[in-house]
Amino acid sequence: MELHFEELLGKITDFMKSEAKTETVVGEQFDLGEFRCVPVIKVGMGFGSGGGEETDVKTKGQGQGMGAGAGMGIQPIGFLVTRGDQISFLEAGKTHGLAAAFEKIPDLIEKIAQNKTKKE
């Protein structure tokens, strides 16, 4: 049995790369009135592998073994919110997750509108 460690490693990392996207967790960017909201995520990855080979001189037998594993954690952390040339980061609440971000969007819109009114 021939081991193809590089091929296995490539397949695992390709899979992890394809899944570590905001679209996988939160969805794509969206427009809310004059505002464009872009989700932002935090990604953590871990990878481990091992292999071995043994030759038995007496029986002329040869054994091989290999194992690999990977883990990934994806967490939404907030939104980049733009309006015209203004940009803000709206952090998702740590205790309430993404729901808190959606609850804060109306307040953010109101604050940006008030700032615009003050400048005019």
Tens-place pLDDT, residues 80-116: 889 888 998 888 765 555 666 666 777 778 888 887 7
Query: What sign does the CA torsion over 105, 109, 26, 73 have?
Result: negative
The C-alpha atoms of residue 80 and residue 31 are separated, in whole angstroms, by 12
Tens-place pLDDT, residues 33-83: 888 888 888 888 887 777 788 877 777 777 777 777 778 888 888 888 898
Instruction: Give residue 98's identity as a one-letter amino acid code.
Output: L
The C-alpha atoms of residue 76 and residue 90 are separated, in whole angstroms, by 11
Confirm whether pTM is higher than 0.75.
no
